[in-house]
Structures are given as structure tokens and as C-alpha cells.
Amino acid sequence: MNAGAWSGLQELDRLAAGHSWLHRLDPLVKLLLGLGFAVAVVSVPKYALPSLAPLLMVPVLMAALAGFEPLPLLARAWPAAGVALMLGAFNPLLDPQRVDVAGCQVSAGWLSLAVMLAKALLVAGMALVLVASSGFARLADSLGSLGAPHIFVQQLQLLWRYAGLLAEESDRLKRARDLRDPLARARGPRLAARLIGGLLARSLARAERIHQAMLCRGFRGSLPGAALRPWGPQDWAALAGGCGLIGACRFLPLVPWAQQALERIQP
Amino acid sequence: MHMSDALLSLPVAGAFLAISTAALAFSAKQAASDPRAQPARMGVLGAFVFAAQMINFSIPGTGSSGHFAGGTLLALLIGPWAGALVIASVLAVQALFFADGGLLAWGANVFNMGLIGCLVAVPLVYRGLAGPAPSKRRRRAAIMAASLTACVGGALAVTLQTTASGLTDLPFNRFALLMIPVHAAIGVAEGLITIAVLEQLPAWAQDQGAPQPREGRRVAGVALTALVVAGLVSWLASARPDGLEYSVARMGVEPASLRGGLNQRLRQWQSQHALLPNYDFKPTPVASSGVASAMAGAAPAQPWPKVNAGTSVAGLGGAVVVALLALGLGGLASWWARRRARA
């Protein structure tokens, strides 16, 4: 486990310890809102860039209500745009239609590329806001209450916990290698393969020991996550309000209305 | 190989989500009674694959890079059912925490990186080539073949899903020619890493020998069903006109049942009252003014999918206003949340 990834996971867990209105909502509500938002974004047609503008409101509002800084979240969402950029990079070359954008003739492929990037960033940003306000354990528990198989929920929780174990073991191995070969003379693919195999074997052995100890202490296959309470009026209101907001942003012609308002204001 | 939501249309994403969810539900049922699916092993291997997928290696001569997918290694160490579940959990964490792969695209990603590797490549290709008691050389060759199958099969699935979604303009054959050689090279690297890691593991941690009774038949059934359904769904969910529309357009006639009478009136009513007729904004006065009027002559006669005033940059000014409003609302909400926190 590289240090950056592990510190990233810990940072998101730290954000989940907040006490905002969004943090107090049931994680299942946030998960359902996230899926609804993804459906709304993905349903936007290929060239409809303005239709995505109102949808920006949803993650922005959520992030603001949770008290998150928008820029670090945007930076974390950026990898989502990578694949979209790679596969959409040919659109400007392959889409021969010409359109006029603010007086400039451009290939329609630029539009579709922009739509792809915007979609990727919007969905990734929303997912990060929701996860950062829920925490991993609670989110996994809520997946269980949604009907996900027990073994899958347990796997998610153990992956989370053993990621730390792997990071510790990898740190130890790296230190041992650096102490034995400070000048990096004997490094190569063969040593790397041995180290990786060793890391996996050590981590597996330690995980088995921990698991045996857990079984001895009465573990019966479910980890104690944050206890999920029944939904209160606040959760139902958030679900209804969130769905309403997503629906309004997607289906109401907000952009033409804004355009009309702009034209009325202009002398 | 992680697909993002931006690359998939709603029908394709939804269909693959349904296929993968069904296959995972079946895998969960099978894994519950599989002695190889031990929770501690699954957890550590999940963390290991999760970490390994973050390290990209460059592919010489192509200018691109790839990463270890891990399906082959997992299926060899903990069986195909648990392997598919572990890959699904890794992809869920990556999608939720690292924005690597979309939320709706999770199903497609599980299919491409998990189901093909764990339920097709290892049980069918590896077991078929290696046989019951393989020599070291034969085992290595079988692992290499399984890794290649997993990577190239996954790349082919990505190509099919992207083409069926119709959001990129890459033609299928050109896209496949671009993807398959690169992923064949990634498959070789995946095979080498899998062999190296497996051979460094002590005996207790390696492949636990023969598969479970009737596992081959069950895996083949699930894999075949998933592949056939996925192929059909990709074709049906294609962004191209459906079979009926296409046939009608080719004949140049409108079926009698759709002409005049009640049908005509219903269609008229629908086009007047639908919120988004043909997935588009209704024509508004705005569409014929400003930027839109400049665009009106720019679009070709019968483009498909069409670029028009409603769905493109007609409302550029409006979009900017709405985006600014969204940010303003966010600022307002942030102020309100801070105020409540102080109180």
C-alpha cells in the first residue's frame, strides 16, 4: 500500500468525523441520492453541455452543508476525468460537425469531450462528498441494509481494516530493505518479486492470526460498525428534498429561463 | 481500464450493473460454502490488489501505461467466487474514495475486471490448460494464457460498452485495434507479476489444488449467461436507432398504424406536453436568438446524433448564470452551516 493512498483513506475517514447536518443523515439516504444523481448526470445527451450546469448545484450544496473545502475535493475527483479524457480525446478529430460557440466555429467533438469531462467530475465529486460525510464503516453497513450479501459487506469492512495492516507490513519491509542495502545496489525485478511475495505471505499470516484471535473472542462474522438507527423525519425529508432538487436541476429548463432573464436585463 | 460514468449511456450502464449484481449475488451464495473463501484471506488480498492497482507500469513502445488487475491471482488463491467478490469490493472502494471508475459504471467495471478474469479466464482457460497436476512450466504457461484472456477480454468488453453507449466517436474496429495490443502487453505483465508473486508464496498460501465439486459446470453456466446477456444487452442498448426505427427509415415509409387518427393526435399531445421531447429541451424563443441563431445554420442537414440549439451551447450565457447561481447557493449554504455550528 503506498503511503499516499493510505493517507488519502485516513483523510477521508477524518472528514467523516464531522458533525454537520449532512454527517448526521443516514448513509443509505446519501447513497441513494448519489445513485440518483449519477443517473441524472449520465442521462444528459452527448452535446448538452448547458444541461449539466444546473446539476453542479447538487454537489456544491452538499459540500457546503457538510462544511468541506471544495478545492481539495475537486483535486481528488480529478482522476475520474483521466479515462474520459483518454477516450474522448479523439472526438474533436472524428466528429466532423461544426458548431458555433460564442462566435467561434469549433468541431462538435469538443462539445462532446467537454460533456464527458464534466459528467465524470460531477459524479466523482458527488461520490466523494457523500463518502467523506459518511465514513466507510457506516457506508458498508448501509449497503448491508440495502440487501447486499453479508459476505460482500464483511469483505468491504475487512478490506478497509487490512489495508492498514498491509501498509504497516510494507513499511517494515521497506525499512528492512533500506537498512540492508542503503546504496540501492542490489535492487531489481527479482528482489521486487521476492519482496512482494514476502509482503503478501506476512500479511496473510498476520491476518489469519488476527482472525483466529477475533474468533476466540466471540467474533461471528459481523464487525461492529456504527449502529444504524431507523430513519427519522430528517432522513425522509433529505431524501425527498434531494430527489426533488436533482429532478428539478435535470428536468426544468433552468438554462433557457436564465437566458431569457439575461436577454430581458440587456438593454 | 476503469470506466467512468461519462463514457457509458444510461441503458448500457444499467444493464451491466444488473448483470454484475446478479453474478455477484450468485458468487456470494457459492462463496458462503467455499472453504477457500476465508474472510481474513479475502480482506488481505483485497487490500493487496487495491494497492497493486494504484501502481501503473509503462508499456514499452506504446507510450501508454497499465496496472495490475488481479483477477487471475485472486481466483487462483481463493477460488473464482470469492475472487469476483474481492474485485467488486476493491472497485467499490476505488469508485467511492478515489473517483477511479464511476458509480453507475461500477457494474461494467466489475464485469470487465472481475467476472471475465475470475469466472472465465481462470476456471475455463487456466484449469483447461493446466490440468489436474501441472508441471511448473505448464502452470506458468496456463497462468500467462489466463492473464492474457482476462486483459484482452476486459479490453474487448470496454470497447463494446463504449461503442454501444455512443458517446465517443471512435469506430469499433479502430478502437479495438487501439485497445487490444496495449492490453495484450498489459496481460503479459499481469501474467509475469502473477507468476512471480505466486511462486514467492509459501506452499500453505498457494493454490489449494482441485476446484470444488461441480465448480467448473457452475462457473461455465454463470460466465456463459453473463457473456450472452451482456452481448445482447450491448446490442439492444446501442445508441443507434432500434430495429423497427431503422427498418422504417430504410423503407422510407411510415407504418399505417402510426399515421392519422388517434395515433397522430396522441403523438402531437406527447410532443407538446413531454418535459424533454426526444431527450431534448422543447423549442423556446431563446433558441432562435443570440448564440443560438448563429448556430442554426451551422448544423448539417441530418446529423445523427444531432447537435442542436437545445442540447448544445445555445444557452451558454444561461448556463454560466445557472452555474454561478449554484456556486452562490453553495456559499449561502456554507455560511448557514457555519452559523449553525457556532450556535
Average pLDDT of span A177-196: 80
pLDDT interval class at A3 (50, 70, 90):
low
The pLDDT score that the predictor gives to residue B284 is 40
- A262 alpha-carbon distance from chain centroid: 36
The pLDDT score that the predictor gives to residue B278 is 41
How large a percentage of chain A has pLDDT more than 90?
4
Q: How far is A175 from chain B (nearest CA, A)?
A: 18
Least confident stretch, A76-80, A104-108, B159-163, B254-258: B254-258
Q: Which residue has the higher pLDDT, A3 or B193?
A: B193
Q: Find, among A4, A53, A50, the residue nearest to B287 by Cα.
A: A50
The pLDDT score that the predictor gives to residue B150 is 92
- Considering only CB atoms, B200 lies closest to which of A105, A170, A198, namely A198
* 3-state per-residue secondary structure call for A39-83: HHHHCCCCCCHHHHCHHHHHHHHHHHHHCCCHHHHHHHHCHHHHH
Instruction: Determine whether the interchain pair A259/B330 forms a contact, defined as Cβ–Cβ distance below 8 Å.
Output: no
Instruction: Determine whether the interchain pair A51/B311 forms a contact, defined as Cβ–Cβ distance below 8 Å.
Output: yes
The pLDDT score that the predictor gives to residue B329 is 65
State the Cα–Cα distance between residues A126 and A29, nearest whole angstrom. Answer: 13
Residues of B in contact with A49 (CB under 8 A): 312-313, 319
Q: How far is B261 from chain A (nearest CA, A)?
A: 30
Residue linked to cell 502452470: B139
Q: Find, among B97, B90, B332, the residue nearest to A15 by Cα.
A: B97
Is residue B317 within 8 Å of A44, Cβ to Cβ?
Answer: no
Instruction: Determine whether the interchain pair B201/A197 forms a contact, defined as Cβ–Cβ distance below 8 Å.
Output: yes
**CA dihedral for B291, B292, B296, B298, sign (positive or negative):** positive
CA-derived radius of gyration, chain A: 24
pLDDT in tens, B21-46: 999 999 988 888 888 888 888 888 88
The pLDDT score that the predictor gives to residue B63 is 54
Residues of A in contact with B290 (CB under 8 A): 259, 263
pLDDT exceeds cutoff 90 at A176: no
Is residue B65 within 8 Å of B183, Cβ to Cβ?
Answer: no
State the Cα–Cα distance between residues B198 and B204, nearest whole angstrom. Answer: 11
The pLDDT score that the predictor gives to residue B262 is 45
Instruction: Determine whether the interchain pair A165/B316 forms a contact, defined as Cβ–Cβ distance below 8 Å.
Output: no
pLDDT exceeds cutoff 70 at A86: yes
Instruction: Determine whether the interchain pair B196/A196 forms a contact, defined as Cβ–Cβ distance below 8 Å.
Output: yes
Is residue A29 within 8 Å of A232, Cβ to Cβ?
Answer: no
Is residue B102 within 8 Å of A38, Cβ to Cβ?
Answer: yes
Average pLDDT of span A22-46: 87
pLDDT exceeds cutoff 70 at A238: yes
Average pLDDT of span A28-34: 88
How long is chain B? 343
pLDDT interval class at A85 (50, 70, 90):
confident
- Considering only CB atoms, B10 lies closest to which of A43, A152, A194, namely A43
Query: In chain A, what are the domain boundaries?
Result: 1-148, 149-217
Is residue B108 within 8 Å of B4, Cβ to Cβ?
Answer: no
Q: How far is B228 from chain A (nearest CA, A)?
A: 25
pLDDT exceeds cutoff 70 at A102: no
Quote ipTM for the complex: 0.72
Chain A: residue whose CA lies nearest to B166: A46
The pLDDT score that the predictor gives to residue B282 is 44
Residues of B in contact with A118 (CB under 8 A): 6
Residues of B in contact with A117 (CB under 8 A): 6
State the Cα–Cα distance between residues B133 and A51, nearest whole angstrom. Answer: 60
Interface test with A, best of B91, B103, B194 (most A CBs within 10 A): B103
Pick out chain B residues at pLDDT < 50.
Answer: 238-263, 266-267, 269-314
Residues of B in contact with A200 (CB under 8 A): 44-45, 48, 197, 200-201, 205
- Per-residue DSSP letter, A133: T
The pLDDT score that the predictor gives to residue A73 is 74
Q: Find, among A170, A199, A183, the residue nearest to A4 by Cα.
A: A170
Average pLDDT of chain A is 80
